[in-house]
Amino acid sequence: VILHADLDSFYASVEQRDDPALRGRPVAVGGGVVLAASYEAKAFGVRSAMGGRQARALCPRLVTVPPRFDAYVEASRAVFAIFRDTTPLVEGLSIDEAFLDVGGLGAVSGPPVVIAVRLRERVRSDVGLAITVGVAGTKFLAKVASGLAKPDGLLVVPVGGELAFLHPLPVERLWGVGARTAAKLHDRGVFTVGEVAGLGPAALTSMLGRASGRHLHALAHNRDPRVVVVGHRRRSIGGQRSLGGRRAFDRTDAELDEALVGLVDRVTGRLRKADRVARTVTVRLRFADFTAITRAHSLARPTQDTAPLLAAARTLLAGERSAIRTRGITLVGVSLGGLDDADAVQLELPFPAREFARLRERGTLDPVVDELRVRFGRGAVQRATLLGRSGGTELPMLPD
DNA sequence: TCTGGGGTCCTAGGACCC
DNA sequence: TCTGGGGTCCTAGGACCC
């Protein structure tokens, strides 16, 4: 049994918690763009990612406050501590939501509903925030349930009633169906999850692509085998800076370089703080017409040093000088991928073919061996046995 | 209404290797 | 001179989520 716990209007709720004058009033966090809107603001149609001007047009009495990210991180830590005190099986999805696997807790903590009620009370009393919880047998359904129960709600999908719950819902309720996918489905007369379920997998696949089609087909029949995973590792670290549209066509090279250096500096700082190394640098540019491109380069070896990563980013940016001149530029982004632990050592792969053939001739390696992987990390050997067999027995790692 | 900043995953083509 | 198939890695773009 899985709980999906999701804090309501997180940033705005923290602001209302910390400043009583904001309570009961329509609040938007952010400046040029709304990062989060309180429920009072949402009632006027104010939404996150909306421009500040539009938000004020919809809601003249809107109170706009600048974000205080430190306060949100602090509140998030406190809530996640309560999550982990509820069950060790916590999978964070973002700063304000997580899956909790409470399946094995029955004997200790009572049934899932009781656990969910207690969790909501604790977050309310200890952190001062409202949290919505969805309870179901799968991650997907738990997330759908919490979405429907917002704000400040609790919704349990009864065992056996999953499809009856799911099928009347509009397709937009499905996790992974955004505006584009919804539009494609609507074009073909598909509006509810039940109608999706009525479609064959082939029809969905031809509409949405292989993975999305299969995925959606499975979800519409409430098949979701994904388990709660503790301790996800970040796969990329990035930063971006919008430059404002006004001077899109007359940014100087020096200005762009300054922005790039600032971003690389910030991002590599985070990389080092996380004790990780990166191998792929991606530069993202957005032009005055709002179209965007990405340019990537992979280094021969991973690093956490600023210099080689900055050099790669500069080269990528330099390659787009003429596009920047003719199309104007409104955003620069840098992302680091191919992450690994800083102290991990990966030997050259694949194992040199000539050396391999030589060993094979000497009879040192059984022909079924076709790869050698040796990995060291955290100051100790992680995997150090040769992944091969000779006469059915494992070979020891080569002395070298 | 001229639109932030942080991520994840999928697709598809080309290079390269065996 | 013309021809196969499988696999991995890299790059670019797109959709989606909070």
List, for residues A287-307, the tens digit of each pLDDT value: 999 999 999 999 988 999 999
Which of A's residues 17-46 have CB atoms within 7 A of nucleic strand B?
32-33, 35
- Nearest nt by C1' to A52 Cα: B1
Nearest 10 degrees: Cα torsion A78, A81, A83, A84? 170
Q: Are A277 and A340 in contact (CB under 8 A)?
A: yes
Is strand B in 7 Å reach of the CB of A301?
Answer: no
Q: How many residues does chain A have?
A: 400
- Residue A375 confidence (pLDDT) above 50: no
- Decide: CB of A292 under 7 A of nucleic strand C: yes
A97 is catalytic: yes
The reply to whether A300 Cβ lies less than 7 angstroms from strand C is no
Q: What pLDDT, on the 0 to 100 scale, is given for residue A346? A: 53
Share of chain A above pLDDT 70, in %: 86
Cβ neighbours, 10 Å, residue A150: 17
Give the span between the Cα atoms of A184 and A238, in whole angstroms: 31
CA distance A127 to A356: 60
Give the residue, A32 or A267, on which the prediction is more confident. A267
pLDDT band at A357 (very low <50, low <70, confident <90, very high): low
Considering only CA atoms, name the residue closest to the C1' of nucleotide B12: A209
Q: Which nucleotide is nearest to A294 (CA to C1')?
A: C12
Global pTM?
0.84
Q: How many other C-beta atoms can be found within 10 angstroms of the C-beta atom of residue A107? A: 6
- Find the range with the poorest average confidence among A250-254, A322-326, A351-355, A360-364: A351-355
pLDDT at A399: 34
Residues pairing with A295 in the sheet: A283
What is the distance between the alpha carbons of residues A221 and A188, in angstroms, rounded to a whole number? 19
A95 CB below 7 A from strand C atoms: yes
Q: Are A287 and A320 in contact (CB under 8 A)?
A: no
Q: Which candidate in A15, A40, A97, A162 is catalytic? A: A97
The separation, in Å, between residue A341 CA and nucleotide C8 C1' comes to: 22
Digit-coded pLDDT (tens) for A177-206: 998 899 999 999 999 999 999 988 888 888
Q: Kindly report the backbone phi and psi dihedral angles of residue A201, in degrees, each rounded to the nearest multiple of 5, phi listed first.
A: -60, -35
DSSP A33: B
A241-295 pLDDT, tens per residue? 998 778 889 899 999 999 999 999 999 999 999 999 999 999 999 999 999 999 9
Q: Give all strands of the β-sheet with A375-377 in edge-to-edge order.
A: A345-346, A375-377, A380-383
Provide residues 343-362 of A with CB closer than 7 Å to any strand B atom. Answer: 353
Q: What is the DSSP track for A76-104?
A: HHHHHHHHHHH-S-EEEEETTEEEEE-GG
Number of helices and strands (H, E) in chain A?
Answer: 16, 18
For A155-180, give one letter per residue: b (16+ CB within 10 A) or e.
Answer: bbbeeeebeebbbebebebbbebeee
Q: A36 to each of A29, A72, A224, A349, how far by Cα in Å?
A: 5, 12, 30, 47
- Rounded Cα gap, residues A362 and A339, in angstroms: 38
> Which nucleotides of strand C lie under 7 Å from a protein CB?
9-18
Residues near A33 by beta carbon (within 8 Å), at least 6 away in sequence: A49, A50, A51, A52
Q: How far is the CA of A285 from the C1' of B4 (A)?
A: 15
Q: How many Cβ atoms sit within 10 Å of the Cβ of residue A190?
A: 20
| Closest C-alpha among A283, A332, A272 to residue A310 | A283
List Cβ neighbours of A282 (8 Å cut-off, separation of 6 or more). Answer: A238, A294, A295, A296, A316, A333, A334, A335, A336, A337
Q: Which of residues 25-84 of A touch strand C (CB under 7 A)?
A: 49
Residues (155-184, chain A) with CB within 7 Å of strand B atoms: none
Does at least one atom of strand C sit less than 7 Å from the CB of A298?
Answer: yes
Contact A377, A345 (CB under 8 A): yes
Q: A49: Cβ under 7 Å from strand B?
A: yes
Å: A221 CA to C5 C1'? 36
Q: Which of A114, A131, A134 is nearest to A123 (CA)?
A: A131
